[in-house]
Structure 1
Amino acid sequence: MDPLEGEASSVSVEYEPVSVKDVLVEMKDTSELLIDLSYSAVLHRNEALAHEVLRLEQRMDVLELRARMSLMMAVRKPDDAEELAPVLGIVAAADEISDAAGDIAKIILEEMGLPDAMRAALPEAAETLVRGVVDPGSAYADRTLKDIDLESETGVRVIALRRGDDWLLNPGPETTVEADDVALLRGPDPAIGEVFEELTGKRYETPSIEDPGIEDLERAVDTIIHMKNLSELAVDLAYSSVLFDSAKLAEEVRNLEIEVDALQSRFEAWTLRAAADAEDPVALRGLIRLATSTEEISDAAIDISEGVLRDIDVHPVVQLAVQESDEIITRVEVEPGSELDGTAITNGVPDVESTMSVIAIRRPDEGWLLVADSDADLRGGDVLISKGTRTAAAAFEELSQG
C-alpha cells in the first residue's frame, strides 16, 4: 500500500473560523490541479506525480470538512439553508473530483496496466507536466518567479509549489522558489528537459514508447483523451456558471456531460473489440478505470452547476469568490451574417478586433470542437465558449449578433 494511503483518517480537523469564500476558491483551484496532475501521471507513467495527487486528495478532504463546518455555522434561518444548499453541493462535487483523480493516479501506483497506446496518442505539440525537487545549488533557488522570468525565456510555467505540507497553487511573479520545494512544471517538451535539469540537478529522461498498432485500441485511446478534454472543460464551465450565475453556461455543462456519456459508450465498444487482438487484455484494465473516473468527473460538474440549473439564487459568499478576478468565461451563439460568421480562429484567437480567446465550439451538426486541438472557421449557429475580460466579453457578444 502507498505510504500516503490511510493517513487521511488520522488527521484531526477541528472547527476554526475561516472564510468560506477562501475555502471555496482553494477547493476550486485544488480540484483543477488534481485533474491535471492525475491525467499527466497516467499519460507520462509518472509515479512521482501520482503521489502528489494522493497528497492533494488528502488536502481536499480537509478542505471539504472545513467548508462543511463553516456552512453549518452560517445557517441561521430557512432562507440561509436554501441559498447554502447549492454551495454544499459544490463542496461535495469538488470532493468527488478529488476521489476520481485519486483513482486515476492509482492506475499507475497499483500497476493496473495501461496500453502503450496511451502515451503514443499524445500529440507531438502537447505540453508536458513534470515534478521536480529544487536543488539548493540550482540557479532558480531563492529567487522570485519574476526574477527568473522562466515563462518568457523558455515557455515553461511553474503551476504549483509544495513546501512541506503547504501548497502554493497559483504562484505569482513575487513567489520565491526555495530549495527543497516540490515544483510542478508545465511546458513544451523540448524546453522542459533543460529547465528540469537546471531546477533539480538531475537528468531528465523522456520515456520511449512504441505504438502497438491495434486500430480498435487506438480508437479507444483517442476517445478517452477526448473524454478527458471535455470533462476538464465541463468542470471549468460548471464553476464559471456558479460564479457568474449563468444559466447558459450551466446548460453547456449538461450538454458536455451528455457528450461524455456517449463517448464512454463508444469507448467500451472499442475496448472490448481491442481485447480480442491485444497481447495482454489485462493491460486494458487501467484504461477501463480511466474511462469510469473521467465520466465521474463530468458527473461532478453537473453537481457543481445544479443550483444554477434549478434557478436558486447564488449565495453572496460565492459571488465574493469571483470578485478577485476580472477574467470570465462566456457563452455566445454566432448569428448568421454577424461579424463572427466566417471568421478564422488560429490557436484560439479569432481574426477580429477582440482580445477574447475561444476555448471550444459546439457545432449543431458536429458536436464539440476543442479549439486547442485545431484551427477552425466560425459558422452561423456555432456556440462559442470563450475566456477574457468582462469588457472584452461584452464587445465579443456584439460581434456575434447579426
Structure 2
Amino acid sequence: MDPLEGEASSVSVEYEPVSVKDVLVEMKDTAELLIDLSYSAVLHRNVDLAREVLRLEERMNVLELRARMSLMMAVRKPDDAEELAPVLGIVAATDAISDAAGDIAKIVIEEMGLPDAMRAALPEAAETLVRGVVDAESTYTGRALADIDLESKTGVRVIALRRGDEWLLNPGPGTTIENGDVALLRGPNPAIGEVCEELTGEVYETPSIDDPGIDDLERAVDTIVHMKNLSELAVDLAYSSVLFDSAELAEEVRNLEVEVDALQSRFEAWTLRAAADAEDPVVLRGLIRLGTSTEVISDAAIDISEGVLRDIDVHPVVQLAVQESDEIITRVEVEPGSDLDGTAVTNGVPDVESTMSVIAIRRPDEGWLLVADADAQLRGGDVLISKGTRTAAAAFDELSNT
C-alpha cells in the first residue's frame, strides 16, 4: 500500500519552541491550497494531483500537533485559556478542512467514480490548476520568478513548489525554480498548457468530456459546484472575521453555512433522482462523497469564526497570523441612491473609481451571487463581499453610503 494512503502518519513529532504565528500562517495557506488541489484533482481525474493532496494533508497533521503543543505551553493562567480556546478551535477547524480535502482526493485515488457531467461543469467554475515536474532543460530552470516574469506575460502563476519533502507555499519573486521541483500552476487556457509544456518538456493534454445528458444529474452537479464556491468563500470570510474581530463578517460566514446546508439537501435529492436514470448508479458514489466533504468545509469555516461570534477577544497571535495576507476582505451594504446603486460589475470589477474587486453579492430576496460566474448590476440593499487594499476598502465603503 502507498504510505500516503495510510490512516495515520508514522512521522514522529516532538515539541519544538516554534512561533505559533508562523505555524498558523502555514496551516492557513496549506488549507487554502488543499481545497484548490483536491477539486482540481477531481476535475481532471488526476492521480498525481490527488497524491499531492495527501502529502499536504500529512504535513497538516504535523502542523496541527505542533500548534497544539505550542498553545499548551503558552497557557499560564485562566485568562490565557479563555483567549487561546478560540485559537485551538481555529487549529481544529483548519485540520478538518485538510481531512475533507483528503477525502475528496481519495475519490480519484480509490477510483470511486464520478459522472462526466462533473467534469463538464467545473471548468466554468474554477481556474485551471495543473501539476508538473520541472525539467532540467526547461528555460525556467535555475531562474527566479521575478526574472521569468511569468504572471505578467502569460497570466499563469506558480502557487506552490514541492522540493522533496519541503513545501514552498506562495513563492515570492525571489524564489528560484530548480530541476526536479514539483510545480503547481494556476491560470487560463491555453496559456497554462503552453507554460506547463515549457516547464516540464511534456505535451499538455486537455481532457475530453462527454455530457451524459441526464437533467437531474446536471442539476446535482450545478448544485455541488455552487456549494464548493460558497464554502471557499466562507473560509476566506472566516479568517478575515478573525483578523478584524468583525462580527459582521462572522455573520456572513453563518449565512453562507446556512445556504450550503440548504444546497446539500437539494443536492442529495437531485443525486438520488439521477441514480434512477444512470446506466451505472455506482459512479455517483464519488459525487456523494464530494457533497459531504464540501459541507464539512463550510462547517469548519463556522468553527474558525466561532470566537468572534461568541464575542471573545481575538488573541494577538491570530491577528498576526492572518495579517500575513496582502489582501483584505470587506463587507459593505449598498445604500439606495449611493454611488454604487445601479453600478455595473464586470468580471468582479465595479464601474466606479475603485480598485476593489467584488467577489460575491448577497441579496435579501435572491441569496448569494458569485460575480465570478456572471456579470451583475448592484442594487440598493445588496451586501457586497470585496477584496482589495485597506486604503481602497475605506474609499469603497464611502461609495456605498448616501
* TM-score (norm. length: structure 1): 0.98
- Cα distance in 2 for residues equivalent to 1:62 and 1:161: 19
Q: Deviations over 1:208-239 (max 9, x none)?
A: 11000000000000000000000000001001
1:269-348 equivalences in 2 (<5 Å): 269-348=269-348
Give the CA deviation at 1:123. Answer: 4.1
Q: Check the 8 A contact 1:24/1:321 in 2, yes or no.
A: yes
- Alignment gaps of 5+ in structure 1: none
The equivalent residue for 2:25 is 25
Matched residue type, 1:23? V
Matched residue type, 1:191? A
The equivalent residue for 1:146 is 146
Q: 1:133 to 1:271 in 2, by over 3 A?
A: same
Q: Check the 8 A contact 2:125/2:225 in 1, yes or no.
A: no
- Cα distance in 2 for residues equivalent to 1:104 and 1:189: 24
Matched residue type, 2:79? D
- Cα distance in 2 for residues equivalent to 1:150 and 1:73: 43
Give the CA deviation at 1:8. Answer: 4.7
Q: Check the 8 A contact 2:243/2:323 in 1, yes or no.
A: no
Q: Check the 8 A contact 1:326/1:390 in 2, yes or no.
A: no
- Cα distance in 1 for residues equivalent to 2:101 and 2:69: 24
Q: Check the 8 A contact 1:125/1:188 in 2, yes or no.
A: no
Q: 1:322 to 1:111 in 2, by over 3 A?
A: closer
CA RMSD of aligned residues (A): 1.1
Q: 1:120 to 1:255 in 2, by over 3 A?
A: same
Q: 1:44 to 1:302 in 2, by over 3 A?
A: same
1:161-180 equivalences in 2 (<5 Å): 161-180=161-180
The equivalent residue for 2:268 is 268
- Is 1:155 the equivalent of 2:182? no
Give the CA deviation at 1:13. Answer: 0.5
Matched residue type, 1:220? A
- Is 1:102 the equivalent of 2:102? yes
1:77-92 equivalences in 2 (<5 Å): 77-92=77-92
The equivalent residue for 2:12 is 12
The equivalent residue for 1:357 is 357
- Cα distance in 2 for residues equivalent to 1:346 and 1:380: 18
Matched residue type, 1:367? G
Matched residue type, 1:219? R
Give the CA deviation at 1:313. Answer: 0.2
Percent of residue pairs identical: 90
Q: Residue 56 of structure 1: SS of its match in structure 2?
A: helix
- Cα distance in 1 for residues equivalent to 2:151 and 2:283: 38
Q: Deviations over 1:121-155 (max 9, x none)?
A: 13458521110000111111000111111111111
- Cα distance in 1 for residues equivalent to 2:353 and 2:112: 50
Give the CA deviation at 1:202. Answer: 1.0
- Cα distance in 1 for residues equivalent to 2:123 and 2:10: 42
Q: Deviations over 1:31-76 (max 9, x none)?
A: 0000000000001111110000000000000000000000000000
- Alignment gaps of 5+ in structure 2: none
